[in-house]
Structure 1
Amino acid sequence: MENEGYLNKQNEDEELKGPIIKTLKSRHKGPVEDGVTTVDIGPLCRKLGLAWLMTNPYLWCVKDICGWVCAIFTWLLVLYAEYVVNFVMLLHNPNTTWSIINGVIFQFFAFMAIASHLRCMLSDPGAVPKGNATHENIKRMGLADGQIVFKCPKCVSIKPDRAHHCSVCQRCIKKMDHHCPWVNNCVGESNQKFFVLFTMYICIISFHALYMAIHHFITCVGREWKTCSGVSPPATTVFLIFLIFEALLFGIFTAIMCGTQVSAICSDETGIESLKSDSGHQKKGYWMSLKATFGHPFTWKWFSPFSTPKFAYSKPYLHCV
């Protein structure tokens, strides 16, 4: 009996050794339902001979109706601008050279904007693997005795430094900045580059469309509208007014968003950290922060939504707060 009591006490002492796991407070009891589904497109791409396009065969899809409505609305706004620019202004413009040059410029940046939007929406923003807060994973971290590890009770995962739980995705996202309904996804460590590119390219096509609409008004006023427009004069006026309103609204909005994101990257402080005044981490310089988001080293691929950045300065998810 004495030996059994000694062994039990020894086992209790061994359990006390190692890192301390602290579960964060939550209103929910137990894990919550995942707000994300992943779709494996690897077999389809290989069947179509497009395997070379895959950087990741899994599409990240957030199951949020409001987000999908906002994303579709974004595509419809770009589609409206495409119709007005091509079929109302450029197709019947008497200045063929001007139409070709501006048409090519607009189509290029519109394509880059949609590509950036899709990459941001369908890419994993940096989610911590769900349910990874197991004793085996914690042992792999190689932490010292008494070191604290925080566990998220909602997705049952080890919560890394600067990670936050998204109530829409129902996942902990590394370096989460915010959840954007326009891209139906979180903006985090792994897709912030694509979000910045999306806002930048939308800003460019918005102000370009604004310039073309004003130019069309100036060149067509006093002329027969049918000679420089694909529709009737009243319809042309309505189309151009709506396009100018859309271009001004979204041009200013995306310019502010793009500037805010670049400023946050340079200061190495996410939107959530700024709101909570939580910047206890060791900050990198602005150039190192830019390379940590867009990839290392600096190349033209920074501006390409088809290039996945190499995160030379990111940490693995298995580390404590």
Structure 2
Amino acid sequence: MMEYEYTAFRREVDLHNKCCGGSVWCIRDICGIICAILTWMLILYAEFVVMNVILLPSFYPFYKVINMVIFQTFAFLAFASHLRTMFTDPGAVPKGNATKEMIKQMGFREGQVIFKCPKCCSIKPERAHHCSVCQRCIRKMDHHCPWVNNCVGENNQKYFVLFTFYIAAMSLHSLFLAVNHFMVCIRHDWKECSAYSPPATAVFLLFLSFEALLFAIFTAVMLGTQVQAIWNDETGIEQLKKEEARWVKKSRWKSIQAVFGRFSIGWFSPFAKPTPKSKFESFLYSV
């Protein structure tokens, strides 16, 4: 009976945190899903206005092509970074692994203090925290972000930093284009500056400017807090709770490398994984 309940319990956990037959990590949280879809819609709206209202009707071919390449690059990398953050296991500890057999298998010494999470019945690694939305303990959990419908933790912090960076860059670029195009339209008395009517063009530009300014400020602040946390080797939760550092803090350069890997152009790519962990670490806390 107990074995059946445990199997059903593990199946429920897998369904909550996995999709596509268990091959992809995803959190089935309705609030997070709505926020993620809203993020995609706002990116698509900015792309629609920038391309169809601002750049395509432009009188200057060189200005048009250069800004198209820059904007589309930022938009693609921001979207890819969001997807990688959302669908990457942030560092979940296996639920219900705090059994005598598993403790022996992990090679803990006799009498060694082992922390267990009472909520998910797992062996709690150092610096792990329990997330009530993910229903798991997450290694080096920084926070749970509804905009990416996932926790930001050990395995996906790089992608979240890139997401905030590219959204901030995309927003600033959109704001520049919107303000510049608004001035061009006034200079040309709104003639031939857009394929849409002057009132519609004004509404598009005003909403884009508001969206770009709001997201530029929001993501720039998030980017700053993430960089500060990585720089100080201290997660957002640890800063919030003012936890005393019981772990050996890395140097600033080592802390950055722990998130982004060895320095290369891959730091700026959402498709390049950070330096993989050792086989021993992967064995201890593999999902």
Q: Same fold (TM over 0.5)?
A: yes
1:151, distance to aligned residue in structure 2 (A): 1.5
Among 7, 13, 17, the alignment partner of 1:37 is: 17
Among 96, 99, 117, the alignment partner of 2:64 is: 99
Distance 1:312 1:134 in 2: 24
Distance 2:283 2:152 in 1: 17
Distance 2:85 2:230 in 1: 16
In structure 2, the partner of 1:194 is 159
Is the Cα–Cα contact under 8 Å of residues 10 and 95 in structure 2 kept in the other structure?
no
1:317, distance to aligned residue in structure 2 (A): 7.3
In structure 1, the partner of 2:246 is 280
Q: Which amino acid aligns with 2:252?
A: Y
> Tell me, which stretches of 5 or more residues in structure 1 are unaligned?
1-29, 42-56
In structure 1, the partner of 2:183 is 218
Is the Cα–Cα contact under 8 Å of residues 158 and 318 in structure 1 kept in the other structure?
no
1:289, distance to aligned residue in structure 2 (A): 0.4
1:32, distance to aligned residue in structure 2 (A): 12
Which digits, 9 at most, give the CA deviation of each residue in 1:45-75, with x for residues without a partner?
Answer: xxxxxxxxxxxx9211101000000000000
1:141, distance to aligned residue in structure 2 (A): 2.8
1:137, distance to aligned residue in structure 2 (A): 1.7
> Following TM superposition, where does structure 1 have runs of at least 4 consecutive aligned residues deviating by more than 6 angstroms?
none
In structure 2, the partner of 1:257 is 222
In structure 1, the partner of 2:5 is none
In structure 2, the partner of 1:26 is none
Percent of aligned positions that are identical: 60
In structure 2, the partner of 1:291 is 257
Are 2:147 and 1:167 aligned? no
Partner SS for 2:26: strand
Question: Which of 145-154 and 207-216 deviates more?
Answer: 145-154
Distance 2:273 2:137 in 1: 21
Q: Residues 277 and 31 (structure 1 numbering): CA distance in 2 closer, same or farther, change over 3 Å?
A: farther
Distance 1:189 1:143 in 2: 22
Are 2:101 and 1:136 aligned? yes
1:144, distance to aligned residue in structure 2 (A): 2.5
Q: Residues 317 and 163 (structure 1 numbering): CA distance in 2 closer, same or farther, change over 3 Å?
A: farther
Distance 1:265 1:315 in 2: 20
1:277, distance to aligned residue in structure 2 (A): 1.1
Distance 2:49 2:221 in 1: 25
Based on CA coordinates, which of the two structures has the bigger radius of gyration?
A: 1
Q: Which amino acid aligns with 2:18?
A: T
Q: Greater helix percent: which structure?
A: 2
Among 214, 232, 235, the alignment partner of 1:270 is: 235
Q: Which amino acid aligns with 1:161?
A: E
Which digits, 9 at most, give the CA deviation of each residue in 1:94-140, with x for residues without a partner?
Answer: 11110111011000110000000000001100001122212122112
Distance 2:238 2:73 in 1: 35
Is the Cα–Cα contact under 8 Å of residues 31 and 153 in structure 1 kept in the other structure?
no
> Tell me, which stretches of 5 or more residues in structure 2 are unaligned?
1-8
Partner SS for 1:179: strand
Distance 1:266 1:231 in 2: 48
Distance 1:158 1:233 in 2: 62
Q: Which amino acid aligns with 1:37?
A: N
Among 78, 81, 95, the alignment partner of 1:113 is: 78
Question: Which of 309-318 and 97-106 deviates more?
Answer: 309-318
Normalised by the length of structure 1, the TM-score is 0.81
Distance 1:60 1:312 in 2: 19
